[in-house]
Amino acid sequence: MGIYLANGVAEDAVSNHLLGPLPDTLRMRSHTTESGETVFVAEDEGDRGSKGPFYVAYGTAAREDKYGWFCSHCESVDNAMDAMGRIQCNRCGNFRKPTEWDAAHE
């Protein structure tokens, strides 16, 4: 399986992989953004948010071209991560606190 180290967040994904290895495509589902782009949501890669998990979204089903985060609560990719690793959904306010890994890395 391909472990893709891109913009930092992917290292979170690596540890999730080690905890529960799954075929790369098994837990992917496609999602069409408001601007009409198709992204692929890795439902085994993510982190808990205040209202529901955030999942990692990729530009391809092969987990390449990392797109950002997918909010499972309102099913959108309209969110932002700050330098501390916090993720806030712009739509529903779902919020992820920074992880230890992010704090150590940023």
Residues that bind Zn ion (CB under 5 A): 71, 73-74, 89, 91-92, 94
CA distance 41 to 59: 9
We find the least distance from the C-beta atom of residue 85 to Zn ion, in angstroms, to be 17
User: Between 40 and 94, whose beta carbon lies closer to Zn ion?
Assistant: 94
Q: Which residue has the tokens 């982190």?
A: 47
We find the least distance from the C-beta atom of residue 62 to Zn ion, in angstroms, to be 26
We find the least distance from the C-beta atom of residue 14 to Zn ion, in angstroms, to be 25
User: Between 61 and 74, whose beta carbon lies closer to Zn ion?
Assistant: 74
- Asked if residue 84 lies in contact with residue 102, where contact means CB atoms within 8 angstroms, the answer is yes
Task: Return the structure tokens found at 50.
Answer: 């205040």
Task: Return the structure tokens found at 7.
Answer: 């913009």
We find the least distance from the C-beta atom of residue 94 to Zn ion, in angstroms, to be 4
User: Between 42 and 71, whose beta carbon lies closer to Zn ion?
Assistant: 71
In 48-104, the DSSP E strands lie at 54-58, 66-71, 79-81, 87-89, 95-96
